[in-house]
Amino acid sequence: MESFLIKGGVPLHGDIVVSGSKNAALPIMAAALLTDEPCVIRRVPDLSDTRFMLKILESLGARAEFAGGAATLHARKIQGYADYELVRKMRGSICIAGPLLARLRKARVSLPGGCVIGARPINLHLKGFESLGAKIKIEGGYVEASAKKLVGNSVFLGGRAGPTVLGTANVMMAATLGEGITVIESAACEPEVMDLAKFLNAMGAQISGAGSPTITIAGVEKLHGAEHEVIPDRIEAATFLAAAGATNGEVTLRGACAEHLRAVVDKLNEAGVAVERRGANLVARRKGKLKPADITTLPYAGFPTDVQAQMMSLLALAPGISIITERIFESRFMHVSELARLGADIEIEGPSAIVKGGRPLSGAPVMASDLRASAALVIAGLAAKGETQVNRIYHLDRGYEQMDAKLQKLGARIERVEER
């Protein structure tokens, strides 16, 4: 297993290009199952998750090629059930269920199960499929959805923590080939949902309202092939903006979408990190001392849960008390105990973490537990004095394209090594 070895204390300087969005690419790749014609998806980040999705599409019978950031997908003839182990390993693959149900009127996929950040049920996905007339059966670790026909209907998809991103994506895709009009209420408004709707409409779907809590889908008989360029990864962008602030450097992001980052930029600003637009680029650097800030994670356009951990590393350096409240996932503080190894002073009180910031961090061996927690450990390691070893970086490779090469380009002393 591989680790990152980081010699901290170097301010990051320079510019990098933001990759395509993992969380947009995954459902968009799955959407290619909706047609028997070829689709070309560009700016697909080269990650273990996107390569996993390619394998899953191939296991369903599709032809899948990936080169130079472009995925060429052709689901001419496919089957309705995917390899149990493949789907079980990557939660995001649940979004093949909607396209399979729409195209074949049946889908059999392994239940995704929980992960370290929470139980992550799919009850809302299934509620959506049932509202279109599908019968749901859960057996042997599989969920099976089947329907003689799918009929448009209204469905409310709000849950315990508000809307569901992949649930909205799945029901939207299932409804594209249904009969009549489907209205999704309390839909997720994330840019990734909007990007998926844009691709589906390019395939001939009739979707309006994506990006708002009410999405309307007028079912069509058939969809055709299409080409699409995935939006930039706002979570990767936010990670590098926080790293610039944590190392007291100046980083230019090329190709980031400022509109998608408003809540993040607002909190960075509050914490003493200025983020300004220079033409099509975003430039981040400290303005004076870091300051504490309170953060509550919320559905989009609120502060993203996928940036909570990275901001915690930054705020651990800001003298004063910051309160970070996680409202989306019930156990997304795995990074707290590892940040404490680097000297951070953080206490968990229910859904909140109380960060007593300002203590200098010092390097130590730490363990990654999930994708965004690992990014937080890298940021803390870059800011810490001495050497930090971040173990199990396979978590990072799931969602960050060439993170070490990009950081090296910004002057970081980081290298990928075999775990010792």
45 binds ligand EPZ (CB under 6 A): no
Given the residues 95, 115, 189, 257, the one annotated as active site = 115
DSSP secondary structure string, 342-389?
TT-EEEEETTEEEEEE-PPPB--EEE--SHHHHHHHHHHHHHSBSEEE
Cβ closest to ligand EPZ, residue 123 vs residue 212: 123
185 binds ligand EPZ (CB under 6 A): no
Q: Which stretch binds ligand EPZ (CB under 6 A): 162-170, 178-186, 257-265, 317-325?
A: 162-170
What is the closest distance, in whole angstroms, from the C-beta atom of residue 276 to ligand EPZ in the complex?
Answer: 26
Instruction: Restricting to residues 87-126, name those near ligand EPZ by CB under 6 A.
Output: 92, 118, 120-125
By the 8 A CB rule, do 304 and 264 touch? yes
| Residues 5-24 as x/- pattern, contact with ligand EPZ by CB under 6 A | ------------------x-
With CB under 6 A as the contact rule, which of the stretches 156-164, 176-184, 236-244, 407-415 interacts with ligand EPZ?
156-164
Q: 34: buried, middle or exposed (CB in 10 Å: 19+, 13-18, 0-12)?
A: buried
Nearest to 225 by CA among 39, 72, 71: 39
Reference 166, options 232, 92, 236; nearest CA is 92
Cβ count within 10 A of residue 126: 19
Active site residue 257: no
Residue with smaller CB distance to ligand EPZ, 267 or 372 = 372
Q: Give the number of C-alpha atoms closer than 13 A to the C-alpha of residue 391, restricted to the C-beta side.
A: 8
Nearer to ligand EPZ, 116 or 280 (CB): 116
Could you give the CA distance from residue 207 to residue 216 in angstroms, rounded to a whole number? 6
| Out of 147, 165, 309, 384, the residue judged to bind ligand EPZ by CB under 6 A | 165
Q: Quick one: 130 or 179, whose CB is closer to ligand EPZ?
A: 130
CB of 184 to ligand EPZ, least distance (A): 13
Residue 363 Cβ vs ligand EPZ, minimum distance, rounded to whole Å: 25
Between 306 and 338, name the residue whose CB sits nearer to ligand EPZ: 306
Interface with ligand EPZ, residue 47, by CB under 6 A:
no
Ranges within 287-306 binding ligand EPZ (CB under 6 A): 305-306
Answer yes or no whether residue 371 interacts with ligand EPZ by CB under 6 A: yes
Strands 154-156 and 181-185 turn out to be parallel
Q: Residue 139: what residue type?
A: E
Tokens of 135: 């019968």
Q: How far apart are CA 28 and CA 196, in angstroms?
A: 6
Scan residues 261-280 and list those touching ligand EPZ (CB under 6 A).
none
Q: Concatenate the DSSP letters of all residues of 84-142 into one string.
A: HHHHHH-GGGGGGHHHHHHHHSEEEEE----BTTB----HHHHHHHHHTT-EEEEETTE
Span from 4-12, 159-167, 194-202, 381-389 in contact with ligand EPZ (CB under 6 A) = 159-167
Upper half-sphere CA count for residue 14 (Cβ side, 13 Å): 13
Interacting residues toward ligand EPZ by CB under 6 A: 23, 26, 92, 118, 120-125, 159-161, 164-167, 188, 192, 305-306, 328-329, 371-372, 399
Catalytic residue set: 115
